[in-house]
């Protein structure tokens, strides 16, 4: 059995910045409400007419990650692509990425676990490396939300929080079992699937039905029972961080950097307070990018590393919660 470790981090954010004031011109909302409830100041939304999609942004972030890893694309043995906004109903973004990067005919899978998608993706890749089946795996999280949001006042409770973007990293074999990814912890509770959902188009509710229903049908926009999700998020985040720390005999004081999924700054602040962590022990960038779901943890990890906030030997905790419900954590000795 091997460990895996992260080398080579990359990210891509579309250029187009959408501020809270910009949103208030589309719907009945305002900067004060959005900042107070979520901490978000602005987000990136792909501008119509540009080439960007989840797969394209994922490819851009991947190129950066591969270059920074010192490996070549031909050294990559497998692709794991996390997204809830794939370019097509099928096939998934993983195979598009394989083509866009002109990679060998390596295997590629998509992970559809929404906000915890990247944590799940890392865990899947880690298992392949642990068993020795693969040595170098490209792990990607990318989301193109803006094209699928209700930009009228009706959708404001959800639309203001989501942003577009992508992040990627290379996971490689680590011989030292006390370094790299120490453990991953995954959970789900499907009975709450309808609390945060994009219901259609789906085999249950296909395009002709949507068209027939006309304006009244909003099932193809994200629906979220925000308060319900919030209450579950703070509990599950805490549980799964504790689970990871206990598994490895790590005290919370020993966390060098907690990178929570960027769902809402208030959730991150609640967790920070609960674990009595200092500001320099928690990384947040939701203010700039909003919630980029499966891309959020990897974009944040990449930025924390770029800013010199992650050093060799550090104990890093990744944690996420989202639609499903699904949640998880990753404990890393960097
Ligand atoms: N601007 C102005 N007013 C608004 C807006 C807006 N953008 N959105 C909602 N409101 C209004 C509502 O209509 C409501 O008005 P009312 O009291 O007159 O009915 C009031 O503000 C309060 O609305 P709530 O939805 O109760 O607001 P809340 O304080 O719960 O904040 C939020 C909403 C920010 C979405 C919060 O619930 C949240 O962050 N939830 C968790 C999100 C999360 O963790 N998601 C998981 C990841 S996402 C994924 O997995 C895909």
Instruction: Give the domain CATH number at 156.
Output: 3.40.47.10
Which pTM does this prediction carry?
Answer: 0.97
Q: Do the beta carbons of residue 66 and residue 96 sit within 8 Å?
A: no
**SS3 assignment, position 285:** coil
pLDDT band for 299, please (50, 70, 90 cuts): very high
Last residue of a domain, one of 177, 210, 243: 177
Whether the per-residue pLDDT at 291 is higher than 90: the answer is yes
Same domain, 264 and 279: yes
Q: At what angle do helices 31-38 and 265-274 cross, to 10 degrees?
A: 30
Average pLDDT over residues 295-309: 98
Residues 6+ apart with CB under 8 A from 106: 76, 77, 78, 79, 98
Same domain, 231 and 119: no
Q: What pLDDT score does 253 carry? A: 95
Q: Give the total number of structural domains in the chain.
A: 2
Last residue of a domain, one of 146, 177, 208: 177
List, by residue number, the catalytic residues. Answer: 115, 261, 291
Last residue of a domain, one of 161, 177, 193: 177
Ligand 1: centre distance to CA 227 (Å): 7
Same domain, 211 and 135: no
For a mutational test of ligand 1's pocket, the pick from 30, 35, 230, 232, i.e. the residue with the most ligand atoms closer than 8 A to its C-beta, is: 230
Segment 202-235, tens digit of pLDDT: 999 999 999 999 988 999 999 999 999 999 999 9
Same domain, 157 and 219: no
Ligand 1: centre distance to CA 295 (Å): 21
Please work out whether the CB of residue 196 comes within 6 Å of at least one atom of ligand 1. Answer: yes
Domain that holds residue 65: 3-177
Ligand 1: centre distance to CA 28 (Å): 13
């Amino acid at each position: 059995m091997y460990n895996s470790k992260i080398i080579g981090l990359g990210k891509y954010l579309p250029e187009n910045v959408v501020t809270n004031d910009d949103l208030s011109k589309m719907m009945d909302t305002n900067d004060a409400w959005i900042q107070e409830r979520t901490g978000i100041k602005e987000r990136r939304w792909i501008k119509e007419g540009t080439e960007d999609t989840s797969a394209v942004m994922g490819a851009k972030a991947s190129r950066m990650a591969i270059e920074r890893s010192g490996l070549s694309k031909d050294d990559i043995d497998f692709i794991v692509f996390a997204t809830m906004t794939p370019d097509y109903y099928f096939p998934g973004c993983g195979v598009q990425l394989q083509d866009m990067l002109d990679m060998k005919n390596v295997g590629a899978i998509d992970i559809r676990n929404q906000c915890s998608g990247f944590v799940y993706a890392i865990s899947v890749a880690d298992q392949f490396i642990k068993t020795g089946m693969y040595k170098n795996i490209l792990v990607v999280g990318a989301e193109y939300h803006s094209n699928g949001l209700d930009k009228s006042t009706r959708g404001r409770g959800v639309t203001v929080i989501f942003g577009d973007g992508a992040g990627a990293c290379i996971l490689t074999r680590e011989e030292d079992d006390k370094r790299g990814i120490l453990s991953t912890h995954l959970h789900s509770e499907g009975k709450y699937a309808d609390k945060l959902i994009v219901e259609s188009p789906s085999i249950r509710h296909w395009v002709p039905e949507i068209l027939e229903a006309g304006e009244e049908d909003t099932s193809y926009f994200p629906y979220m029972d925000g308060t319900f999700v919030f209450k579950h998020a703070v509990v599950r985040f805490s549980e799964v961080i504790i689970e990871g720390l206990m598994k490895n005999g790590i005290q919370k004081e020993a966390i060098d950097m907690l990178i929570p999924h960027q769902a809402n700054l208030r959730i991150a602040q609640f967790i920070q307070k609960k674990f009595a962590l200092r500001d320099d022990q928690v990384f947040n960038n939701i203010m700039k990018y909003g919630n980029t779901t499966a891309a959020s943890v990897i974009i944040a990890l990449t930025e924390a590393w770029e800013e010199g906030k992650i050093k060799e030997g550090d104990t890093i905790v990744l944690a996420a919660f989202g639609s499903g419900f699904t949640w998880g954590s990753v404990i890393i000795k960097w």
